[in-house]
Homo-oligomer: A and B are copies of this chain.
Amino acid sequence: MPHPAEKDNPIAMVDRIAAIINCVAEQSSAISMSEVARRTGLPKSTTSRIVHSLLPHGLLEIVDDELVLGLRFFELGELASRPRTLRRLTYAHMEGLRRVTGNSVHLAVLDGRHVVYIEILRSRATPALPSRVGGRVPAHATAVGKALLAFSPPEVTERIIEGGLEAIGPRTITDPDRLRAALWRIRASGIATEQEESGRDSACVAAPILVGESHEPIAAISVSGVAAEMDIAGCERAVRSAVDALREQAALLPRRGRTM
């Protein structure tokens, strides 16, 4: 669930369509129409009608009498400008970080209470990471997320804290005041770290890419690896120099979009 559907939407139809698409998307494999109807709470006849309206646009497809996301999403995903330009402009620096540190490098943006991974460069030294391009993880439980939250407007962070801090790793920060303190220190140092907060044995060093006079955090870059094997200080220096270099391209970097 990306956005908590804030207010009452003037067009209920859009919410129904989104519910169906999200339902199909959440399912890793295919899903039957009745199952979609059951999970969304929509009547079967309504579900059937909407699904058949989405098919000719390529937004959904039927494979073996079951629903999957359509090819059109693949196309539109490649056209989405923000992730694409972000990828393009940061790629060289990410590749450099991987080479220098020998660890995996992540690029993520903040979206509601989650971070979404835009690009991941994997290293042999840090295999089997659960992260996935396009994947979504609670922001407070990752270094990139904390880096972004630390420089976001306070009300954004508070809203997330109020929503509850779910533990996803052995040492995820779940106490509001501990998180506030951590964010404060990150805001002072410009660097966020994480150890076993997002998963067992994980460690991560991240920094936000800040642009403009308002220091808007448009994305964050991290270096992550196995906790015991990482040179934290070295990674900090490397990440810091990468985001500093990126600030010089600030004019080209895509701003965060409003979604409300």
Contacts and interface: CB of A to CB of B under 8 A. Distances in A.
Contacts of A81: 28-30, 68-69
Interface in A20-66: 21, 25, 28-30, 49-50, 52-64
Given A17-B14, A259-B70, A80 B80 contact: no
B74 A134 contact: yes
Residue from A52, A54, A63, A79 whose CB has the most chain B CB atoms within 10 Å: A79
Contacts of A92: none
A188 interface: no
A78 to B, nearest CB: 3
Contact of A73 (B52, B73, B258): B73
Contacts of A74: 77, 80, 82-83, 116, 118, 134
The dominant DSSP class at the A interface is: mixed
A75 B134 contact: yes
A157 to B, nearest CB: 19
Interface string A1-21: 011011101110111011001
A55 B2 contact: no
A100 interface: no
Residue from A6, A11, A57, A109 whose CB has the most chain B CB atoms within 10 Å: A57
Contacts of A9: 53, 56
B61 A82 contact: yes
Contact residues on A (Cβ < 8 Å of other chain), bracket: 35 or more
A63 B254 contact: yes
Given A56-B6, A57-B2, A57-B3, A82 B71 contact: yes
B71 A79 contact: no
Contacts of A54: 14
A18 B55 contact: no
Contacts of A132: 78
Interface of A: 2-3, 5-7, 9-11, 13-15, 17-18, 21, 25, 28-30, 49-50, 52-64, 68-83, 109, 111, 116, 118, 132-136, 254-260
